[in-house]
Structure 1
Amino acid sequence: MRKNSWFLLVLLICSFVGLTGCATATGKEQEKPPQKVEQTQATEEQKEEAKKEVEDAPIDIPSIEEPAAVPVTVDVIDPAKDQVIRTIVPEVLGYGTDNKKYEQELSEWAKQIARGTDTEPGYDQRNIPDKLDENGNIIKGQPTIVLEEAELVDSILTVSKEGGEVELPLYITASGYEESEAATLDQVVLASYTTYFNPSVTGRNKNIELSAEAIDNVILGIGDHFSFNTTVGPSDEEHGYQPAQEIVNKKLVMGIGGGICQTSSTLFNAVDKLGVDYVEWHHHSLSVGYVPEGRDATVSYGGKDFRFLNTTGVPIMLNAIYDKNGKLIIEVRTSEENAKQIKQAV
């Protein structure tokens, strides 16, 4: 009896355990399907394997290359056009290794762009004086423009270490007179000179006439620079000049524009009475008959020039009077008020 009772008791306990197990499994099945549990377990296993592979794999750290250094540059700017005319790389031209060579390179370049070359004009420009037309209206010329070469080089050197921008140091000087004065500049003759020519020599006389017209009514302000060649321009066939005798290397030869030196020599003798400052002045290789010995001023477009500065202290105007009967008169005039100032100064 006792054995049977123990047997029944054990059987009853197993039944309860089985029921409990079934209930628990059923609950789990409702909460999460077995398939998903298996998938989750598989994923976790994959993660563990991947983690192990990563941990066991050798560490390969890629090398990091430093970026290439950007070269220092200097931009040179034309302020009138607001554009870069050249980008300089100082290191390439020797900065830091041969500074003397670098400065020399800059100086040569500054000289080139200032004065120009055979094919390219430079920034430097002589002033072309204003003049009056036949109706008394002002024909504008061109101001003096100077590129300061040394200043440009110094400015570039200053920024060559760290780079930057440099503007061209251009200095523009307008004519030293007020336009309101123009109408009165013919009131008083300050100085005058007359030369004579043979009226029958037509070619030469035409050249004198054309060059005289070119300088007639030219206005020179205080400190203005006058260049005969710049003002008159090319004395060639295209501009109406004709063949005539001229002096070349102590010989009389035929050439286009022969005779214009009589105009420049007559002008020299007129302005010389005012004590202007001469910038350029040349004699002929032979004596000429229209002015005294040593009182001539030879010119040749693209070559020798006659140049002076108006140092009278007042604006003046040139008058050239061509008389086809054989006379050329050049006068230097100014206003009555200006004439008084000159008289007081003397």
Structure 2
Amino acid sequence: MNTNLENNTVVKSRTSKKKKKAKAKKRRVIILSVIAALLMISIGGVFYVKTTVDNYESVIYPGMKIQGIDLSGKTKEEALKLIEEKYKKSVEQKKLIMTAGDKSYVVNYADMKLSFNLDDTVKSVFEEGKDKGVMEKFKMIKNPTEKDHQLKFTYDNKVIENKIKTMESELNKNKVNAKIAKAGDGFDITPEQAGMKLDSKSLQEEITKAIASSKETEAEVKVKAKLVEDKPTITKAELEKINTKISGFSTSYENSTQARAVNIEISTNTINGTLLMPGDSFSFNTIVGDTTPDKGYLEGVVIVGDKFEKDYGGGVCQVSTTLHNAVLKAGILPDSRLNHNLPVGYVEKGLDAAIAYGWLDYVFTNNTKYPMYIEGYAGNGSVGFNLYSNSALLTGKRYEFYSETYATTPFETKVEEDSTLEEGTEVIQQYGMEGYKVKAYRVIYQNDVEISRELMNNDTYEPTPQIVKRGTKKAETAKPSKPDENKDKEKDKDKEKDKDKDKDKNKPN
């Protein structure tokens, strides 16, 4: 019995071990199968991922757009063609329309020399994500995120600028300042007229913004131009403030040559009617200009250095001097004024004002708060200027001027040889004059009571040299006759006598 039990036990033990081995083997098979399956799935997945990613290496990733145009799966060439058809052509057909009032001005985009950055933009879109890892690429393909790229283009703004210039020429209306002219004892005033001006700067800014923000679907880009009022700087109301004469001064030229008188009258008439608003400056050389013959100026005597010479415009310095004194009497001191090199005879020393076009000017500024009108007159040997402004300037002040000579310089005599004068002959070509150092003063009176006395200018007048022409021409002496020549002369005389006798014989009795 025991033996059988042991045998059974051994059999059962062996059977159990076999069963365990079988189960272990089965388990290993299952595990290996699962591993193999997982491996196959993994390999397949990798292959799928790689294949999917590889398929997009030559095309654009999903979700990529340019100007809203979907380029997913498109090659660069296909994307370029699509953009040209759907965007570029539509942009080239657009119009820029500028309106001003009831007028419209059109610029075709096709005329603006458009230049698109198509190649660069498409290349940028195509390369988007291409530098990433495989799984990132796969994720971009399977879970795309939309991204819309904006296409840029440039254009020739010259076309627009030219159109704006056309608008300016058609729309701009020049302003007209009020004008004033002396009429008898009063003035005639022409009212001002407001102008209209295109705000070109803001229009250009608006155009630039409108072009940049417009969509390709918009066939027309519309911009409204602004017209602004261009107000005159001189108004009738301002000119009406000119209501009284505030100063005047005149000098005589009755002993002048006709040429000098003509020059004085032309330059005075040029200045007559000049208007100076508050803060405006008067420049003699700007107003009168060069005294050239084409303006009617003649040759007259002018001061050049220490000599009197002839040149066109001789005499106009008397005009600048006369105006200078009228300005002084209005209480205005000049900004720029120089005396002549030599004294002049039409005003006191120290009160003259020399001019020379191009380098020596007479300038003063209207330093009042009222407009100022200059009236100039010349004729019958007298030249004068009257300044008109507002009666508020007549405050009881009066300006007087005087000068004092504090030094003199004797003149020298210059002798110049002249081959046209006989030896021993002397002629004074220019008489000499002393030189002077002069101080000019301004005296201010308030209601005829002196309230101030001030040095105005310190001038030096060079002496005028006396120029003497001394002859160097030798006197001619008679040449002595030769003996033979004397005999010939005697024979000629005898022949002449014989002829006279024959004539007497032929006379009737």
How does the TM-score come out when normalised to structure 1?
0.49
Greater strand share, structure number: 2
Larger Rg: 2
| Structure of higher RCO (CA pairs closer than 8 Å, 6+ residues apart) | 1
